[in-house]
Structure 1
Amino acid sequence: MSQAVAEKTVKPKSAWSGRQLLVLLVIGTAALMVSLTQSLLVPVMTELGTDLNASSDGIAWLLTSTLLVGAVAVPAFGRLGDLYGTKLMVLVSLGALITGSLVCALSSSLAPMIVGRAIVGLSVATVPLSISLVGVILPREHSGAGIALISAMLGVGGALGLPLSGVVAEYADYHVLFWICVAGGALAFPLIAKLVPAPPRAGEGRMDFFGTALLGAAMLSLLLPLAQGEKWGWTDPLTIGLLVASVVLIAVFIVVELRIASPLVDVRTTRRPALLLTNVASLFVGFALFATLIGTATYVQMPEVTGYGFGKSILVGGLCMLPGGIIMLLLSPVSARLAPRTALIVGSLIIALGFASRIVLTDSLWEVILGATIAGAGTGIAYAAMPGLIAHATPVSELAAANGLNALFRSVGSSLASALGGAILAAKTIDLGGHALPSLGAYQLLFGLCAGSAVLAALLALVIPKHSATADAALPE
């Protein structure tokens, strides 16, 4: 009898309640909408240039402005979340998505659209903040699955953004893309405000505005030349000067953060092997994810006379990414059932397998889709594993800031992939009727780099300590 009573007592704790599922769905929707914004405009850049009567350099700022503002917002909003409430900062960042997307939806010229996209950059912090929020508000037995799902949205949004944009480019005006973001954000905002509980503030101290400015300057100095280096020239004094400045500013930032009582980033905690190795592995996985996007949609759109392309439309190029996005979403619970370290190893090796197949399987469209889907599956597992590793190595009072820093590392990895991938595809070309197009060898080199990047992430995961001294303090009760 006592055993039966015990089973009845334990069973409800392992079951999801309807409210918990609804809360996770609402937060997941917000994370998905923000993730969509990072790839949504890529297929319609040419149409934007024509409609706005803008040069390619001007149109590129629609992506660059979001990237640069997001690089500053992610760590800053993470720290503000620790100090003033994670739920509050989720709502603030989600409000930025709605406001910025609305500005873009109502714009018919380049300048206000760049302003709108810069405001959208503030919303990039929504995903790491949501990861921290879910980890605290859900019961301990469900927080792992919830965190895995929200984290996987980083990859899912990127993969789904391309086919969605392709459909809009084929059948509607590109402004519809911005209205979709407005509608999704406007739906999630009041539901989060009403349904999601506000956990107690975990952090103490004050906001480090000087450190925020230093880190922001360092990230701008790093990411701007990575975004513009192909146009400026990689040996241009401005490119080299900014990259050198970024190194100097990061060094100054570390020194300053070690000397103040309430730093933006606790360098002493961040340099612990568990956190440092996880963040560097995140950079390599972020590199592989973005290269999947640029190496699949454009690949299948290349004309058949290149010897490898399929001459497909923007819509078909985007749809090739759809199975990978779906598999990322479906496999995120798998990561939650594995130890985070094991999940990162397994996910990274699956990514490497997917890219290795892309090097040798080039004859049929289904082979391209298969390779991209395998890489997507690995990305979903690896992305979902990282917040668990962060939680095991970070005091709960710094959890939002630590997740924000981890997201920043992923963003830097994606920026490196964009810069290096663009340089490779521009350098190794074939001439067709006076037009220089990337060669098959260029894509194969890019896929090889991605496979190697994923293997490095797996090797780093192998040496991440299995247990941290702060694990018990980091995990929510």
Structure 2
Amino acid sequence: MLGSAQRAHHQVTFVVLAASVAAYALLQSLVTPVLATIQEDLHTDQATVTWVLTAYLLSASVFTPIMGRVGDKVGKERMLVVTLVALGAGSLLAALATNIGVMIVARVIQGVGGGVLPLSFGIVRDEFPREKVAGAVGVLAALTAVGAGLGIVLAGPIVDALDYHWLFWIPLIVVVLAAVAAQLFVPESPVRTEGRISVLPAVLLSAWLVCLLVALSEAPSWGWGSGRVLGLLAGAVVLAGVWVAVEQRSASPLIDMRMMRQPAVWTTNLVALLVGVGMYATFGFLPQFLQTPSEAGYGFGSSITESGLILLPSSITMFVVGVASGRLAARLGAKVLVVAGTTIAVVPFLLMAFAHGAVWEMCLATAVMGVGFGLAFSAMSSLIVDAVPAEQTGVASGMNANIRTIGGSVGAALMASIVTADASPGGLPEESGYTHGFAMLAGATVVAALAALLIPRTRHVPHPDEPEHAELAIVAAGTVVGDRPE
């Protein structure tokens, strides 16, 4: 049993990590509902303003695994502070931006904040008692999704009461406090990897991710068969192949390909990709559906604030389930939670596709979505952390988060193409476009549930200091125990 001083230390560390993750997650989605406002204020066009989202996505996708790997080598606490400083600097620049170019640069700098996720998971793995790791990782993982949902909920009230610049000022305040607290209270992790940091793998990783994500982001407007999209996709495939070959031959790889081939890792990453398709596409397109004037034959003519409130149940249920996920994992196993979560998550997409005529139906759908994705997100992060050596926690969890982001890009691009397929130029999409789009997301989530069955079965490995039975451990420690791959 830990002494009270040590428990207090871990609680303070967790609060700092939670604040850091929440601030980053909020910045993922706060600007999504107000792009039109930013477009008007910064005197730009619709095609250019979408880069406020795309630039952030690209930057986060590149820096998330890289910052995790650097943290594994030079120290996670040190890199957490660096990451928070970058996130704060980008937020400050965005809050002060007077033209679209500066805003896009600011969002690129903010994307460095993606490193918060793998670094926080790594710090939990290194510093927390073994029996507390699964619960802490589960809550932090849930916060990433909860924050993304809350960003859409809070954007309207913030803009109505203040203006859109406060979408950056408020996270900036949280980030500054978290950075100071991290420097003062989060101990430097003792676990380090040996060797130098390879530059070529980092360049190749960045190159193929940029090609892939630009192609997916622009495909709905450029056309899936356009030369630019096909060329970028081909470039992504070639560069990814070269990257894998270089990593396999490297004495000090950025990402260990042997680790990525572990059954518990690649299967969990496959599920993460498919879960990302569904969840992030919903956050992007459900508000548009809700805000469509009812005269179109569907939609509710909701304001930004009202559409956010309809999404609020997902954030509430996701957080509640994330908090409880550790205890559930101890009793049932993390694989069971991923299978159950992805199976449950099919239901809300079917409701959105075929039962979207009343507000209460949409509230029910978002609440059920939070339960399903809350279970899946929390358990997936625990599986990754448990499956790899401590010194590879940062890069492994970084790639898992990155793969979810790639899935989100795929889902958003497919959804945009389906929804707008039958729309007249400059007109509203047909209801059938949304029906087919949400049905497609249901199909992707069904595949995610099937993929979850491939995850290796896990069993509980008692911590040396915990009681013999898991139930007694929960009572005695007031927390959870994790799973280990067999």
Identify whether the pair has TM-score above 0.5, normalized to the shorter chain: yes
| Mapped pair 1:166 → 2:156 | yes
The answer on whether the counterparts of 1:104 and 1:112 sit within 8 Å (CA) in structure 2 is yes
| Mapped pair 1:354 → 2:334 | no
Tell me by how many angstroms 1:171 deviates. Answer: 2.7
Structural mapping, 1:355-374, within 5 Å: 355-374=349-368
Counterpart secondary structure, 2:50: helix
Q: Which residue of 1 aligns with 2:174?
A: 184
Counterpart secondary structure, 2:29: coil
| Mapped pair 1:323 → 2:316 | no
Q: Which amino acid aligns with 1:210?
A: L
Q: Which residue of 2 aligns with 1:229?
A: 219
Q: Distance in 1 between matches of 2:396 and 2:405?
A: 14
Q: Which residue of 1 aligns with 2:376?
A: 382
Between 1:32-41 and 1:197-206, the stretch displaced more is: 197-206
Out of 310, 317, 328, the position equivalent to 2:300 is 310
Q: Which residue of 2 aligns with 1:343?
A: 337
TM-score between both structures, scaled by the size of structure 2:
0.91
Q: Which residue of 2 aligns with 1:210?
A: 200
Q: Which residue of 1 aligns with 2:474?
A: none
Give the % identical residues. Answer: 35
Q: Which residue of 2 aligns with 1:88?
A: 78
Q: Distance in 2 between matches of 1:376 and 1:147?
A: 17
Q: Which residue of 2 aligns with 1:287?
A: 277
Q: Distance in 2 between matches of 1:371 and 1:14?
A: 42
Out of 445, 465, 474, the position equivalent to 2:456 is 465
Between 1:170-179 and 1:243-252, the stretch displaced more is: 170-179
Structural mapping, 1:427-466, within 5 Å: 427-429=421-423, 435-466=426-457
| Mapped pair 1:117 → 2:107 | yes
The answer on whether the counterparts of 1:20 and 1:138 sit within 8 Å (CA) in structure 2 is yes
Between 1:288-297 and 1:69-78, the stretch displaced more is: 288-297
Tell me by how many angstroms 1:25 deviates. Answer: 1.8
Out of 288, 292, 317, the position equivalent to 1:298 is 288
Counterpart secondary structure, 2:428: strand
Q: Which amino acid aligns with 2:283?
A: L
CA deviation map 1:162-196 (0-9, x unaligned)? 11111123232110111012111011111111111
Tell me by how many angstroms 1:13 deviates. Answer: 7.9
| Mapped pair 1:398 → 2:392 | yes
Counterpart secondary structure, 1:197: coil
Gaps of 5+ in 1: 1-9
Q: Distance in 2 between matches of 1:70 and 1:359?
A: 31
Gaps of 5+ in 2: 464-482
The answer on whether the counterparts of 1:391 and 1:471 sit within 8 Å (CA) in structure 2 is no
CA deviation map 1:456-477 (0-9, x unaligned)? 2221121211259x999x97xx
Q: Which amino acid aligns with 1:191?
A: A
Q: Distance in 1 between matches of 2:209 and 2:7?
A: 42
CA shift in 2, pair 1:157/1:202, >3 Å: same
The answer on whether the counterparts of 1:287 and 1:450 sit within 8 Å (CA) in structure 2 is yes
CA deviation map 1:301-329 (0-9, x unaligned)? 11101222111111111111112111111
The answer on whether the counterparts of 2:415 and 2:437 sit within 8 Å (CA) in structure 1 is yes
| Mapped pair 1:43 → 2:37 | no
4+ residue segments displaced more than 4 Å: 12-16
Q: Distance in 2 between matches of 1:116 and 1:273?
A: 38
Counterpart secondary structure, 2:28: coil
The answer on whether the counterparts of 2:122 and 2:390 sit within 8 Å (CA) in structure 1 is no
Q: Distance in 1 between matches of 2:51 and 2:164?
A: 17
Q: Which residue of 2 aligns with 1:265?
A: 255
CA shift in 2, pair 1:116/1:435, >3 Å: closer
Q: Which residue of 1 aligns with 2:238?
A: 248
Q: Distance in 2 between matches of 1:415 and 1:160?
A: 19
The answer on whether the counterparts of 1:335 and 1:382 sit within 8 Å (CA) in structure 2 is no
The answer on whether the counterparts of 1:98 and 1:182 sit within 8 Å (CA) in structure 2 is yes
Q: Which residue of 2 aligns with 1:20?
A: 10
TM-score between both structures, scaled by the size of structure 1:
0.92
Q: Distance in 1 between matches of 2:412 and 2:309?
A: 21
Q: Distance in 2 between matches of 1:471 and 1:111?
A: 54
The answer on whether the counterparts of 1:355 and 1:372 sit within 8 Å (CA) in structure 2 is no
Aligned residues: CA RMSD: 2.1
